[in-house]
Structure 1
Amino acid sequence: MRKWKVVFIALALTILWPTIGLADEKSVNLAPEAISAILIDSDTGTILYEKNGNQKLPPASITKIMTMLLVVEAIDNGKISLSDKVRASEYAASMGGSQIFLEPGEEMSVEDLLKGVAVASGNDASIALAEYIAGTEEAFVQQMNEKAKQLGMNNTHFSNSNGLPAENHYTTAYDISIMSRELLKYEDLITKYTGIYQDYLRKDTNRPFWLVNTNRLVRFYPGVDGLKTGYTSEAKFCLAATAKRDSLRVIAVVMGEPNSKVRNKEVAQMLDFAFSQYKNVSLYTKGQVVQSVAVDKGKEEKVNVIVPRNFSILLKKGEKEEAYQQEIQIEENIPAPIDKGRIVGKIVVKKDGREISSIDLVAEKQINKASTWELITRTAKRMFLQ
């Protein structure tokens, strides 16, 4: 039977979760001209404002958030690297609409293609990356839909990787907020590109290409560093934007806006509302060590238990403080082998005995099982030191 160590830590905090957002939603109309909209806290997923959040609509190039998510996941797990050279196919180069004007057979790095997607919304760059990762765009789209299902995006189906009009291609503002939040788990990587206002591709060639971010809020709204615009005649003007001030990061999504000016204005209103009404308190940062625990029969005798992502608590400004408890539950004397990232415990925040929020705790690295000789040697050393 597994043994668990439980530690209680008092928190002098007032914690507010999705119910606070639902109350405020009734008293404000932050996006009157959008068909649908949503505003969430990125760390906790708390909904701060919502309008027709589950209405299925064409997302246009906001689709590329999922494309970028699969790209950064492939980078993170070592399947591809930013320096890899990608050869553009005839099909990728044939894409119309927003593009970086890839030539058939042209080679470009994953990093430059990712920049072309994030900044210029390149349809051709999206296809080139999709084919590089999955072999064909069709296979990549299957991965997109599988990821959507894993994330609980229950009202989403993708038919391509770039958002050009296609049958059976739809999502919702709420589902967009889910995949945006997932992409921001790779904040340090992705915002290096989505936060660029202008840059160049092919800088050292005779055909340099000027990139200007389709998300103008990156330049004109303090703290905005992503994520993605979208427009087709069917979808109208769409935007998923994220901004960070101090430790509070929020995500605002609008769909079906009449023009880009109104789109930007209403997203700015949503961001203003979030930053004026809320703040958060960071409990743990990504990768922070919570404890070191014993490993049974491992090559190493201890493993660090870490928090896999930022963990914070959302507060309404001006609320009175109340006492909360933080409960740390960690498995003791974990048997080897242990995979990196294996769940070995969790942190639970409670109020009046009721769970408010939680986060899994994971092993910092892989610990292999020790050989019989290693175990004998270790035991002998302990006996000698006694």
Structure 2
Amino acid sequence: MTLRRKVFQLLVALSATFLVGTVSCPVIAASKRDSNVVAGKTTHAQVGQHVDAKAAVTIDAKTGRVLYNQNGRQKMPIASVVKILTLAVIEQDIASGHLSWNQRVKISKPVAKIANDWHYSNVELDAGHRYTIRELAESMMIVSADGSAAALALADAGSTANFNRKMQAVARKAGVKDAKIYNMIGLDNGALGKLKLKGVRNSAENQFSALDVAKISRYLVRHYPQSLTITKGNHVNFRANDHQQYDLVNINMMLSGNPLAPVGWEVDGLKTGTTDKAGNCFAGTEKDGKRRYITVVLNVPGNYNAQFMETIKMLQDVSGKKITTQQEANQQTANNNDSQPQ
């Protein structure tokens, strides 16, 4: 493993432990007024009611009702969030018997080249080595492994173009008809090397609206709820080859056990994504009692944790409840202990 990748993995692991700040976040300037839909009523959002993101959406997972809509129909890059759709295709083809979770996939040289590029989000995949569909799906969703997404697509459909057609078909089933779909990973077309689409510019990148992402996320959760057993895992052991294995730490900081986990809520997915064009993006699913929400924030400014804090802000607006993070609860407990007479 290269030094750079060791540093990257260390930073990911540390980010789950060393978080600063609270859920209060900067808001969009007053001049940026949007038509928001909150609890089914269209209003003009005022300062302090915006989510600090280019787009933000919350829907009810059961009914599909839009509960919050901030610029939700604008198409924009979504980076690795597209892997939710990739997983939906894999789940569909496992259900049909075309694939199986224990099926072993041999890694080609073009896939290994993507998987071992330190510029991308990855776990190492050795050319010629075989990994199960489940191992590839877990690494794709838990640490956003780009090489694993490529390996899954080729095992399923034989080429990026063929898998794209499957992605488009599943997107239509979810109610999404006009998203721009170029690949299963979320990188620009040129980054796929020999796996890229022919006749498409290298800079082409998947583009979906926040509502598109919410619909696809809802489709996955409703049709393949077992996928949540992957996305809610805090970590998973990954066998890189016959001599190495890694403990992969989930990069969703709202999961139970993390400082940004909302106390009293159950968070069990779904996917983060980041590129220069897309910024920080996050599609989540959160349960408050029996009610499940699907949340999406796209292009969130600030540091990595801002996408989760903005999601919590949106959930507060929609649910009408103050949400305390585990970090805040721990701090309050510490303060109470300090105030006790000795």
TM-score normalised by L of structure 2: 0.71
Pick the aligned partner of 2:207 from 170, 180, 183.
170
| Greater C-alpha radius of gyration | 1
Secondary structure at the aligned position of 1:209 is classed as strand
Pick the aligned partner of 1:239 from 282, 288, 293.
282
Pick the aligned partner of 1:202 from 229, 236, 239.
239
Residue pair 2:122, 2:147 contacting (<8 A) in 1 also: yes
Partner of 1:160: 183
Q: Which structure dedicates a bigger proportion of its chain to strand?
A: 1
**1:162 is matched by which residue type in structure 2?**
I
Query: Following the alignment from structure 1 to structure 2, what is the Cα–Cα distance between the partners of residues 272 and 20?
Result: 11
Query: Following the alignment from structure 2 to structure 1, what is the Cα–Cα distance between the partners of residues 241 and 112?
Result: 21
Residue pair 2:37, 2:69 contacting (<8 A) in 1 also: no
Equivalent residues in 2 for 1:112-127, closer than 5 Å: 112-127=135-150
- Cα displacement (A) at 1:186: 4.0
**2:221 is matched by which residue type in structure 1?**
L
Pick the aligned partner of 1:43 from 29, 41, 62.
62
Partner of 2:270: 227
Query: Following the alignment from structure 1 to structure 2, what is the Cα–Cα distance between the partners of residues 181 and 31?
Result: 23
Which shifted more, 249-258 or 85-94?
Answer: 85-94
- Does residue 265 of the first structure (1) align with residue 318 of the second (2)? no
Pick the aligned partner of 2:123 from 71, 89, 100.
100
Residue pair 2:179, 2:208 contacting (<8 A) in 1 also: yes
Partner of 2:163: 140
Partner of 2:296: 253
Pick the aligned partner of 1:179 from 200, 216, 229.
216
Residue pair 1:35, 1:257 contacting (<8 A) in 2 also: yes
Q: Deviations over 1:131-188 (max 9, x none)?
A: 1111112210121123223433134111010001241521110000010000002454
- Cα displacement (A) at 1:229: 0.2
**1:165 is matched by which residue type in structure 2?**
D
Equivalent residues in 2 for 1:1-386, closer than 5 Å: 21-23=39-41, 26=44, 31-95=50-114, 96=117, 97-166=120-189, 167=204, 169-202=206-239, 205-219=242-256, 220-221=261-262, 222-258=265-301, 259-276=303-320
Residue pair 1:194, 1:226 contacting (<8 A) in 2 also: yes
- Cα displacement (A) at 1:249: 0.5
- Cα displacement (A) at 1:33: 1.7
Q: Deviations over 1:72-126 (max 9, x none)?
A: 1111122211111111111211114011111111111111111011101110000
Secondary structure at the aligned position of 1:125 is classed as helix
**5+ long unaligned stretches in structure 1:** 1-17, 278-386
Q: Deviations over 1:237-285 (max 9, x none)?
A: 00001012322100110001013222111101222334446xxxxxxxx
Secondary structure at the aligned position of 1:94 is classed as helix
Query: Following the alignment from structure 1 to structure 2, what is the Cα–Cα distance between the partners of residues 226 and 25?
Result: 29
Query: Following the alignment from structure 2 to structure 1, what is the Cα–Cα distance between the partners of residues 225 and 174?
Result: 21
**2:237 is matched by which residue type in structure 1?**
Y
How many residues align structurally?
260
**1:46 is matched by which residue type in structure 2?**
R
Structure 1 runs (4+) greater than 6 angstroms displaced = none
**5+ long unaligned stretches in structure 2:** 1-35, 190-203, 322-342
Residue pair 2:138, 2:236 contacting (<8 A) in 1 also: no
Secondary structure at the aligned position of 1:156 is classed as coil
